[in-house]
Structure 1
Amino acid sequence: MSTQHASASAAGRTLDPQPRGAHQGLIDAEMRASRRAVLDAYRQRLLVDVTTLAAADFLALADPRTVHEAVILAAGTVADACTLQQYDPDIRMLRVVASRGVPDVLLRHLASADASADAVALADEGPPLPANGFKAVHAHPLRGDDNELLGLLWLLSATAASRRDQERLARAAARAMAAMAALRHSSPAAAPPSPAAATFTVHRTGDAVTLAVHGALDSATVPAFADHIRQAVFAEAPTLLIDLREVDLLAVAGVRALLDASRLCAARSTACYLVAGADHTARTVIDRLGATALLRIVEDAALITPDRAPRR
């Protein structure tokens, strides 16, 4: 016999007891954690192959600030110091968005150049930048497919540097920044971001409890998800299936919650499986964050045999 119930938790409802500032703090913390996790997951690839900046799997997880930090990380393989400037077409100015190893005096010089020079000309010619102990100083304009200016990448080296490697990095950085610009343009600027929401459906069939998640699994919805997990586990069902096939956003906090659920199940001798297709966005995020080996994932609950081992 089966029993069934559903519950919905929008971010506003879940976090009503907390002030708006606390809610925003959770979102900001989640964004920082997400950036760290994405950079950690791709760090080795970026250091070995700078074209990872333009890889589809990286861009699917990155936001603009993650891209900026990744450019600086990759630039460390071809230069001793670097600064990334982003072009604002509304005010026709370049502004520093990320930097590593560049002395303050040079950063101040760039800032003053921003305010006093036409940014398009600056990108093509570069201002007279003081060497300040660097033997090679190169400015690489970053442009999109239709030649619009996206930014400027400064690469400084204490010894002679390979222009070929630097140009390869600049091309990859330009493609990454173009992808972020396209993402911004495709989102209605006037529309405020909608609060993340999730609906949870729970049903039990025989000795298995299935928790289906619909919508977003992130820092705002994880508390409600964790409550459902505890209820299912302490109901002493031998098997828990977490169905992620209707999840449209899986954040880093959501992946952590899935790992916590798996650990809780193990402690209670409950078999725990995630249900997600090989090409599903949730599976992609889990894979990219290196959590696949720590979770048991099947594409269909029917693949689980009575002894609770997935059929191959």
Structure 2
Amino acid sequence: MPDSPLSASPYEVLGVASDADDATLRLAYRRALRSAHPDTGGDVVRFHAVQLAWELVGTPDARALFDRGARGGAPAPSREAWAPAAPKPRRDSRPLARTYGHPGGLSRERYLGLIREWAGRGVTVADPYDPALVRSAPRDIRHVLADALAEEASARALSTLGIAYTVWHDVATDAAGHGLPPKLDHLVLGPTGLFAIQSEDWGGPVAMKRGELVGAALDGERPMRALAARAKAIGRAAKVKPTALVIVVPDEHAEESLELGGTNRGAVVALVRRSRLSSAVREGLPGSAHLGGTEVMEVRSRLQVVVRFA
């Protein structure tokens, strides 16, 4: 079970409430194991998830540890894993990409507002990143926090691109008028092109189909279409054209490290695993136009004039 706010708890995997008694928990485990067993037509991934869930809450001692915020005696997703990370001193002197904006800032602001609203008026939320509080929140609130973490992880990867690249985070866009989030997560410019990038965590696998993402976790979303609208709004304002539209997801949510989906208004469309992001940008996407030095400087100048931060 990955340490994501959207990861199902052992109780959710077994289909019981977190305060279920031991007999109910045991019965739910047996039923879940039987229905998920590969020999009876079940799914091997779910079968392993059920087994892991039982390891975490199947005995009184293990359950007590989990309910206190520990998993099987090992550290659980701690508040430090989900709270804003403190800046770390650099250990090398390699030049980093030039970066602007606050990655994940708007998503964290939204999360803090939503979690306090959900807790209720007059209720003091001492620690909005307490794992027990996060696990108990509705999925849409946990999704906002998961997206903030995804944006921050991508920003760390993009910072390693080198001085030839410029990165803008949380870029405001008027595409919000169509019911879309009011920003583009990352805009990256360098010799391998102009990349419009969204960092996402839907809590489940997604795949590319006819230029759009599909998957049960999307719940009807059309994320590539939304990304194209955001990129178009920024490109129109700066009179530039993105060369690539990229959606980044946790490694375990994509079957391939890089999956292409054709083009959208001349921009190559791709689904990329998080661990592959920096190399995909540095190498350039297959079929995506590269930019000459003079062209990079001209595009950067135009973007610097129009870029606003959400």
TM-score, with length taken from structure 1: 0.29
Question: Which structure would you say has the larger Rg?
Answer: 1
Bigger strand share? 1
TM-score, with length taken from structure 2: 0.30
Flag the structure with more relative contact order, 1 or 2, with Cα contacts below 8 A and sequence separation at least 6: 1
